[in-house]
Amino acid sequence: MSKQVQDAYIVSATRLPIGKSGRGYFKNTRPDEMLVKVMQAALAQAPGLDPAAIEDAIVGCSFPEGEQGMNIARVASVLAGLGNTIGGVTVNRYCASGITAVQMAADRIRVGEADVMFAGGVESMSMIPMGGNKPSLSPLIFERDENIGIAYGMGLTAEKVAAQWKISRDAQDAFSVESHRRAVAAMQAGYFDAEMTPFDVVERTPNLADGTVNVKTRTVKLDEGARPDTSIEGLAKLKPVFAAKGSVTAGNSSQTSDGSGGLLIVSEAALKRYNLTPLARFVSFAVRGVPPEIMGIGPIEAIPAALKAAGITAAQLDWIELNEAFAAQSLAVLNDLDSKGIELDRAKVNPNGGAIALGHPLGATGAIRAASVIHGLRRTGGKYGMVTMCVGAGQGAAGIFERL
């Protein structure tokens, strides 16, 4: 295991339900409002902790502009009532932004520089589109063939992965059906309850007849994307959306989404000082680069590195959140690792479904899935869990937690 000064402990981990972008729960909800709710909920789950003890709030966001710009981490920490003494920084590693925020916060504690940190992620794909409001690519990207993959859309990289790793359309659709089946079953069993913070969505509708505004509030408690009627037959009818003769469809890709998640991470000294109960220990993190045009395969490089740093084997993982950016990508990662002797037990990979069913709010996903791992381990009695995902422009990231 990598040397460190002290351990970093997670004392609260929570998230909001994930909404469909553009038409779902949070289509009119600002991302800073979602993050404020998560911050307040995380603090409420650590009774006795003085908010002023939080040194910094590190928040992941894939497209930190517009409504989620202006350093949303600092803005939200003030709006959440955490106090003016708390810092805030917004970080961007695309889909791994949330888990990177957790790693950065944990590292501040592990090297002895801080005792209490907030780490989280937030993304409104309803308000900030994929690529941002004004995408602008450097002309240098197109001067060398090996760099052109940086400009590829994520769907095209999934097609590249499907072709290179020979992932069939049938296999992708079957994987997607299973994601929905697991998600629906987990919801019905109440498996998400421990990690979920309900959110009151306020809907305002103008009444043109009398000039008033009708206000309606509803509380949302479950992710919006899972569909119990998903079937092989239904998915087979969908056309490829990224390549005319491709195999990647809307049905075997992750859903664009809105959401937020957050964790409080502390030192052993803070545990004792504030009489806190640790949920888990942050064990290790790794990030690796891969060719941008096959960015989806990134976890095959990051996972072995994270396992080595943790001093454990893949067989010791009891819960694995392998983010389903695309079914093709997820299957390629699993199959490739199998061929290298790093077998991930399929029953332990996304046991409650993944992003194809639950949604993928980009920069928030790493923090959201960290909450899922921690509470999943506690419910099942498992010891080690991992959050891993591919990353735009050619990266893979993985973080490992130990239940306490």
Positions marked active-site: 95, 360, 390
Q: Which of 161, 129, 145, 144 is nearest to 65 (CA)?
A: 129
Residue environment code for 340-368, b if the CB has 16+ CB neighbours within 10 A, otherwise e: eebebeeebbbbbbbbbbbbbbbbbbbbb
Residues in contact with 199: Cβ distance below 8 Å, sequence separation at least 6, in sequence order: 16, 17, 25, 26, 29, 34, 37, 219, 220
87-91 and 56-60 strand pairing: parallel
- What one-character DSSP code corresponds to residue 229? T
State how far the alpha carbon of 13 is from the alpha carbons of 212, 235, 265, 382, in Å. 40, 34, 9, 17
State how far the alpha carbon of 309 is from the alpha carbons of 9, 222, 401, in Å. 17, 35, 12
What is the CA angle 171-172-174, rounded to 5? Answer: 65
At residue 187, φ and ψ (nearest 5 deg) are -65, -45
Instruction: Please give the full DSSP string across 354-404, using - where no structure is assigned.
Output: -HHHH-B-GGGHHHHHHHHHHHHHHHHT--EEEEEEEETTTEEEEEEEEE-
**Half-sphere CA count of 241, side-chain side, radius 13 A:** 15
Q: How far apart are CA 304 and CA 327, in angstroms?
A: 21
